[in-house]
């Protein structure tokens, strides 16, 4: 297959290129702005791909009927970023132009958009793939706007995947924005968590659905080769784990017997956006898309992440 990946040098993008290489796919073009590959070189050196395309020339490449699949992962993924013109362009306008180009083509490509569990906002129970959700930050809003455009089309070749808390090894370039699991695996014997600001969720018992990036890549690959049922799908493990469980699992994997969990007040800037409980409903992924593979357990995923960090993967 000939594949185009936007954001292909980022965390999920570079992991996907590596996964596709493992599956025998090397005819891959990567869309990244100049300067990104200098800062993300540690994600790049072991990847097998063909060409780097600047976003300035993106439309010229997509307008021709040359790709079997386009995976759009490039976006501003900050959940605390305020709305501005550049974020609107990156997260909404660019995606809408891509949708328009794809729908003008008769047979291909399959297109996969990265969405996020941020669209669920303060929801704590109903994580089905509905559109009557209320994001609490601009990032989630931009993802929901693209989802609504995709849902209107009812096109079997266009997918929108709601990623939950993705973690893995290729996050070094993200620094303080890397997932807590990545940062804590690279830290010491003390882990700091937020105090709860919600009386329904005791401190230490706020829960998230953590999904390993390899499982995310597996779902994307499944969509590429099983494109008869496009639409919106959750991509999570289907299990919610508390932050204390994550911390204790990291201590166990690292062989730390007397790890310390500390607590601090949640910053005012994130209190209204904070998600206290997320857990992907996988019914649609299983029944409609036919994805049967089991997701990694938290401990298995953390072990793999630790091993691959150690070998600079």
Identify the CA nearest to 224 among candidates 112, 129, 95, 98: 112
174 included as an active-site residue: yes
What residues are paired with 53 via a beta bridge?
31
Give the H/E segment covering residue 264.
strand 260-264
Catalytic residue among 139, 167, 227, 291: 139
φ/ψ (deg, to 5) at 122: -90, 10
Token pair 């209204």 in the structure block, residue: 272
Tokens of 211: 């999904």
Q: Which of 2, 23, 174, 306 is catalytic?
A: 174
- Cβ neighbours for 170, distance < 8 A, ≥ 6 positions apart: 11, 14, 15, 42, 43, 213, 313
Crossing angle (nearest 10°) for helices 243-254 and 298-310: 50
Closest alpha carbon to 147 in 233, 236, 232, 234: 232
Q: Are 124 and 276 in contact (CB under 8 A)?
A: yes
| CA dist., res. 230 & res. 151, Å (int) | 9
Q: How far apart are CA 279 and CA 236, in angstroms?
A: 7
Q: Is 57 marked active-site?
A: no
Match 């709305």 to its residue by tokens.
83
Catalytic residue IDs: 139, 174
């Amino acid at each position: 297959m000939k594949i185009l990946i936007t954001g292909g040098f980022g965390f999920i993008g570079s992991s996907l290129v590596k996964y596709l290489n493992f599956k025998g796919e090397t005819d891959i073009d990567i869309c990244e702005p100049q300067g990104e590959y200098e800062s993300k070189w540690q994600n790049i050196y072991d990847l097998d791909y063909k060409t780097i395309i600047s976003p300035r020339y993106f439309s010229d490449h997509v307008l021709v009927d040359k790709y079997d699949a386009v995976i759009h992962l490039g976006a501003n993924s900050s959940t605390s970023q305020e709305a501005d013109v550049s974020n609107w362009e990156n997260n909404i306008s660019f995606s809408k132009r891509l949708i328009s180009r794809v729908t003008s083509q008769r047979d291909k490509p399959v297109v996969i958009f990265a969405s996020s569990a941020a669209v669920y906002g303060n929801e704590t129970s109903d994580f089905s793939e509905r559109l009557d959700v209320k994001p609490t930050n601009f990032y989630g809003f931009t993802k929901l706007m693209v989802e609504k455009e995709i849902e209107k089309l009812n096109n079997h070749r266009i997918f929108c995947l709601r990623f939950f808390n993705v973690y893995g090894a290729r996050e070094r370039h993200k620094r303080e924005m890397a997932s807590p699991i990545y940062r804590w695996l690279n830290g010491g014997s003390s882990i700091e968590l937020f105090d709860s600001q919600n009386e329904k969720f005791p401190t230490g018992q706020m829960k998230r659905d953590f999904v390993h990036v390899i499982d995310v890549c597996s779902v994307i690959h499944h969509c590429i080769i099983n494109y008869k049922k496009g639409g919106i799908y959750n991509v999570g493990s289907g299990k919610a784990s508390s932050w204390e469980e994550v911390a204790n699992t990291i201590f166990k994997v690292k062989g730390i017997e007397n790890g310390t969990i500390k607590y601090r007040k949640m910053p005012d800037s994130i209190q209204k956006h904070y998600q206290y409980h997320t857990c992907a409903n996988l019914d649609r992924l299983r029944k409609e898309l036919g994805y049967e593979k089991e997701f990694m357990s938290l401990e298995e995923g953390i072990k793999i992440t630790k091993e691959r960090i150690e070998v600079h993967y």
